[in-house]
Structure 1
Amino acid sequence: MSNSGNHVIIGAGPMGLMAAMDLLDKGKSVDIYETDDRVGGMSATFDFDGLDIERYYHFVCKTDYPLFELLERLGLSDALHWTDTKMGFFFHGRLYKWGTPLALLRFNGLGIVSKLRYAMHVMYTKNIKDWQSLDKVNATGWLRKWVGKPAYDVLWRSLFDLKFFEFTDQLSAAWIGTRIKRVGLSRKSLTQESMGYLQGGSKVLLDAMERYILERGGRIHLKSRIERVSVADGRINGIVVGGRELPCDVVLSTVPIQYVPKLVPALPRAFAEQIESIKNIPVACVILKLTQPLTENFWMNINDPSIQIPGLIEYSNLNRMTPSVIYAPFYMPKTHPKWSQSDDQLIDEVIGYLKMINPAFNADWVLSRYCHRYEFAQTICPPGFQAMLPPMKTPVEGLYMADTSYYYPEDRSISESIQTARKLCASLADEGASV
């Protein structure tokens, strides 16, 4: 089959936009359909009482090379700025400095042997190049083996338990290892972490990608939900939008793959079950605007029995701004009782934690409050996850798919969205499509 006709992309997040750019560069006709009223997906911005800011926090690391290449391509390299950031660790009622050898030495929650084992593990992980050997290794067991039970219990257990709950012992060491490496390599020196951000936020990049697409004849349909993908004789022949059937030859889905079996009823059952075996953790992310900084830290991990979130991200300590902005994510399965609580209940809970972290805090600091929810925020990547992932090319001819699951073993980032979009387009070419 020659895929020279119209290409439909489902989803206008960074992955969908990047795929559209690549296809348009190859002379293809491209239509993007997006349910939301804006492009961007999880990286989209919203009007937070007069402040345009992302719904969910993003940061840039020194190894985000696909993002750097795209910024250069779009003439946006000057929008990337770097900040020397600080990290904190709130442990049993006390906020510690974190992220440097001196901070580790001064931390009184561990003995010297545990500290040395922890430091050795970070150094080892930063130098891993081939993650295949860790794909089938259990993450929590791997961490305990390296750092020991005392260090695992203090530094890791609450982070896993408050993000993955019953899935805590079902995670691949390759996934957590690449996360440690990405952040670890984003350092200017042993004593100084450096993180990046885009001046104007991700919106600057998204707007440029949108302009690139429109200027080259691509079409972006917002508030347009695809109801069904039509299949005839085992191949794509159209989509149904607003009750109208529109012809197309190729469909690339960049939304969570769990939507694909519902969109494509003709998908073989065995393939649909393979998709359904991939599990995700939702997030309810509280965002607060404060009159002043809560701490000096960009990132703060938390291990305190009185606090039921794994950490706080004080975004205004990365992208310097006034007023201050804090993100507080509640990751939890939808079966967790907290998921059924109202947004206001979750926001009030977070505000209640802030005085514990900074005793000077009072409720008058809070200028604005909001909570965003997303059902497919974090893929569960168990040992052997690489073999679990369905191929990007589905059994239906002309139907391709990818989502954040395909970043594995890397963690979620705009840079990985860009890289995965390129792999998705390459999968068309590998199957003989003239892209």
Structure 2
Amino acid sequence: MSRVVVIGAGAMGLAAAHRAIRLGHDVDVVEADNVPGGMAAHFEVGGVSIERFYHFVCKSDEPTFALLQELGIADAMRWTPTSMGYFMKGRVHPWGDPFSLLRFPHLSLVAKFRTGVQMFLTTRRRSFASIEAKTARQWLEGGSGREVYEKLWKRLMDLKFHDLADGISASWVAVRIRRIGTSRKSIFQEELGYIDGGSQTLVDRLVESIEEGGGRIHLSTPAQRVEVENGKVAGLSANGTFYPADAVISTVPAALVPRLVPALGDDLKRKYEGIRNIGVVCLLFRLKRSVSRNFWVNIVDEEIEIPGIIEFSNLRPLPDSFVYIPYYMPTNQRRWRWSDQEFADEAFGYLRQINPDLSQADLLDAHVSRLRYAQPVCGPNFRDQLPPIQTDVPGFLAADTSYYYPEDRGIAESVRLGREMAELVQ
């Protein structure tokens, strides 16, 4: 048995702790927040428990299904037929199936054929090693053509990555397309999943399992310093308390690791500091009426400063309409310092552009959540730029959402990576 301390009680940290306990280790989890769950944590809006940041499940998310089974809550998985749209030139156009593509009015016939072929082949690919050195723009223009990139992709990429948009990895985009494209009932019907009761159902059961196994979760306990003696991990200082440990697993953002572990080598510190992130301001509106029939609407309009909306109540049945609106931006941007009300006023105005029938009377609640390290900026050959999970300090392991690459952020990757780090302690 080893003494293991896990930094962070998000989905990755909880999965790591759960697996470490199953392997026979003595485990402490320290979390700066006053609730467990990280990005999967819930809060209450209008009597409904709902995620601060939206989550959904795809049919390829095997680590999630395996963990639900292990925890005895596999029957909490639910599936819903969903749809996607594109808001362009004043209206929402259906998207995501062959008929929608053929009827889409803003692409030439050649562009429709090329994008249909590229998307279909992407869902069938097992590996993207051959495009790893390309940018998303190079790959999409090479397959679907410049017309498709300029009309359907450029605005989305610019609003998510800003001046870094042209340097995003082709593999990162392709894997996202494949994940959604393979989560279907048929070629004509997308089908996405959610956990009954939301992500909190999984978080609560993980916490119960950890505590049942003798593990301890310490909330409102920010990590301060990984202590090193005789060249290896000795424990963690957190909120004025020392937690002795043979191994420390960090799941906090990579940019924070150099300050957390001063004993790391300078080369490794530079690698951590070189991992860039985009922040997000994520709004959640509770409305009396629905905005659209779609779960996801991409927005490509030069007058609208958001890349899309996610109408979560079109996935998980809820008493009102719940709509997430993400603003991605570098945290040094002026808009990052806007008040919550400024974001809410602007975003609700955008909803009224998408659905002019909405009025101020339809707005029941508006909540704003912010995250500084929300979206890793993954360029070509990104994996080669990541520091090793097992660092040059024996007993210290670290990873964050950057290590999901080429997969995007999601609970399935949190579970997979958390378990992997726990097994590396062996």
- TM tier, smaller: over 0.9
Deviation at 1:292, TM superposition (A): 1.5
Aligned: 1:274 with 2:271: yes
In structure 1, the partner of 2:364 is: 367
User: How do residues 115-134 of structure 1 correspond to structure 2 at under 5 angstroms?
Assistant: 115-134=112-131
Deviations 1:111-161 (A, max 9, x none): 100000110010111111122222221111111111111111111011100
| Aligned-partner residue type, residue 292 of structure 2 | T
| Aligned-partner residue type, residue 291 of structure 2 | L
In structure 2, the partner of 1:283 is: 280
Instruction: Verify the 8 A CA contact 2:17 2:422 in the aligned structure 1.
Output: no
In structure 2, the partner of 1:390 is: 387
Aligned: 1:94 with 2:91: yes
Q: Distance in 1 between matches of 2:121 and 2:273?
A: 35
Deviations 1:250-302 (A, max 9, x none): 10001112111111111111100011111011100010000121110100000
Q: Distance in 2 between matches of 1:335 and 1:77?
A: 42
Indicate how the Cα distance of structure 1 residues 244 and 205 shifts in structure 2: closer, same or farther if over 3 A, else same: closer
Compare 191-200 and 237-246 and name the one that shifted more: 237-246
Matched residue SS, 1:169? helix
In structure 1, the partner of 2:351 is: 354
User: How do residues 26-425 of structure 1 correspond to structure 2 at under 5 angstroms?
Assistant: 26-425=23-422
Q: TM-score, normalised by structure 2?
A: 0.98
Q: Distance in 1 between matches of 2:139 and 2:243?
A: 51
Deviation at 1:100, TM superposition (A): 1.4
In structure 2, the partner of 1:432 is: none
| Count of equivalent residues | 426
Deviation at 1:171, TM superposition (A): 1.1
Matched residue SS, 1:423? helix
Matched residue SS, 1:417? helix
Deviation at 1:42, TM superposition (A): 0.3
| Aligned-partner residue type, residue 14 of structure 1 | A
| Aligned-partner residue type, residue 179 of structure 2 | R
Deviation at 1:320, TM superposition (A): 1.4
Instruction: Verify the 8 A CA contact 1:136 1:385 in the aligned structure 2.
Output: no
Deviation at 1:242, TM superposition (A): 2.6
Q: Distance in 2 between matches of 1:419 and 1:226?
A: 23
Q: Distance in 2 between matches of 1:62 and 1:258?
A: 32
Unaligned runs of 5+ in 2: none
Q: Distance in 2 between matches of 1:244 and 1:195?
A: 43
Deviation at 1:349, TM superposition (A): 0.6
| Aligned-partner residue type, residue 369 of structure 1 | A
Q: Distance in 1 between matches of 2:419 and 2:68?
A: 15
| Aligned-partner residue type, residue 22 of structure 1 | R
| Aligned-partner residue type, residue 45 of structure 2 | F
Q: Distance in 1 between matches of 2:77 and 2:132?
A: 33
Q: Distance in 1 between matches of 2:352 and 2:204?
A: 38
| Aligned-partner residue type, residue 374 of structure 2 | A
Q: TM-score, normalised by structure 1?
A: 0.96
Q: Distance in 2 between matches of 1:245 and 1:253?
A: 16
Deviations 1:12-42 (A, max 9, x none): 0111111111111111100000001111100
> What CA RMSD, in Å, does the superposition of the two structures yield over aligned residues?
1.0
Unaligned runs of 5+ in 1: 429-434
Deviation at 1:335, TM superposition (A): 2.3
